[in-house]
Homo-oligomer: A and B are copies of this chain.
Amino acid sequence: ERTYRIAVIAGDGIGTEVMPEGLKVLGRAAERFGFRLETQEFDFASAEYWTQHGRMLPEDWFQTLSGFDAIYFGAVGWPDVVPDHISLWDSLLQFRRGFDQYVNLRPVKLLPGVPGPLRGREPGDIDFLVVRENTEGEYSSIGGKMFEGTDRETVVQETVMTRTGIDRILRFAFEQAQRRSGKLTSATKSNGISITMPYWDERVAEMGEAFPEIEVDKFHIDILAAQFVLHPDWFDVVVASNLFGDILSDLGPACTGTIGVAPSANINPTGELPSLFEPVHGSAPDIAGKGIANPIGQIWAGAMMLDFLGEAQAAEAVTSAFESVLESGQTMTPDLGGSASCEELGTAIAHAV
């Protein structure tokens, strides 16, 4: 029997409510498609752990987690107890960097039953992937301040891009385009950011030669953001630097009204270190404890994990399951206009698998 070892970190707030639903649905998919998920739960990366230990992660987090096939993550953050910049940087961002999860992958899809903000768009019209570079670029740690406290005060921060860093994210994006429609869009700003972005364009052009069957276009980030709103149907796979990808992967789900249910995969494609799968939403202190959180983000993230593990059919079954439950409209959580609980929606989706 195919067996996958999954580290489960539920985290804070609604993370602890949606995680059981995610596990329920994935368990059902495993049964149906004949594989095993061997899960182990961890209590770190949570405010409670921080209160008890004065830190977000145990010292040996890297060793503890690196043997797993994947990390299934809920949500971290509880600002009444730990400031967000600590809870995030000292947990999630440690994982991204420590495990060299250099791909951040986010699907943008108009779903049945989820009201979107764009006029006249129907499910099926919008269905694309944002592939974000997740380790370098504009998120650098080089720079500083000079002439402090005077009128000449100046701050500098360097954007650093490497051939290695760019090429590996591009290769991943081109391969995604191969699996999908054969179209790739590159986000650039080479008409304004005159050193790093022309280099990005150069690498795209060179990588394109290795994938002659892929049709590549590029948009400057300003007009690309505009086209996400005006022509979201134009896109299939969009590849972007760390900052541009950050923006586009929030803007995309906003255009489909799915910010509350979208998933995010932080992937190390080598498979040598574990990848991490999480819903985009946070711990939502305002609704935590009420049992009304929407578990679809967690479930969808689980589907991405199955796909990554090689269980494409099971992944497909999970997405079809929540799409059909949404389409029927019978079991909807309050954010979707219904009165079902988190658990009821999770169970309905598990049954549909």
Q: Is A156 a contact partner of B160 (Cβ separation < 8 A)?
A: yes
Question: A193 to B225, Cβ gap below 8 A?
Answer: no
Q: Is A250 an interface residue (CB 8 A)?
A: yes
Q: Which of A27-35, A161-169, A292-300 contacts B (4 or more CB under 8 A)?
A: A161-169
**Scoring A residues 286 to 328 as 1 if CB is less than 8 Å from chain B, else 0, what string do you get?**
0000000000000000000000000000000000000000000
Which residues in window 218-268 of A have CB below 8 A to B?
221-223, 225-227, 229-230, 242-243, 246-247, 249-251, 253-255, 257, 259
* A67 → chain B closest CB, angstroms: 30
Question: How many copies are assembled?
Answer: 2
Give A251 to B189 CA distance when docked, in angstroms.
Answer: 15
A199 within 8 A of partner (CB): yes
Chain B contacts of A157 at CB under 8 A?
158-159, 193-196
User: When the two chains form their complex, are residues A156 and B196 in contact, meaning their CB atoms are under 8 A apart?
Assistant: yes
Contact A225 B196 (CB under 8 A): no
What residues of chain B lie closer than 8 Å to A189, measured between beta carbons?
A: 243, 246
A118 located at the interface, meaning its Cβ lies under 8 Å from any Cβ of chain B in the complex: yes
Task: Please judge, given known A-B contacts A157-B193, A222-B247, A225-B254, whether A199 and B145 are in contact too, CB under 8 Å.
Answer: yes
Residue among A88, A143, A247 with the most chain B CB within 10 A?
A: A247
Q: Are A153 and B158 in contact (CB under 8 A)?
A: no
Given A160-B156, A226-B253, A139 contacting B195 (CB threshold 8 A) = no
Q: Which residue of B lies closest to A259 (CB)?
A: B226
Question: In angstroms, how far is the closest chain B Cβ from the Cβ of A241?
Answer: 11
Determine the chain B residues whose CB is within 8 A of the CB of A194 once the complex forms.
139, 141, 157
A246 neighbours in B (Cβ, 8 Å)? 189, 192, 221-222
Complex CA distance for A243 and B187, rounded to whole angstroms? 14
In the assembled complex, 8 residue pairs joining A and B whose CB atoms fall closer than 8 Å, in A order, are A154-B161, A155-B161, A155-B199, A156-B159, A156-B160, A221-B247, A222-B249, A230-B254
Given contacts A139-B193, A139-B194, 10 further A-B contacts (CB under 8 A): A85-B191, A138-B193, A143-B159, A145-B199, A150-B163, A154-B160, A156-B195, A157-B158, A192-B242, A226-B250
Q: Which 6 A-B pairs have the closest CB atoms?
A: A226-B254, A153-B163, A222-B250, A157-B195, A143-B195, A157-B196
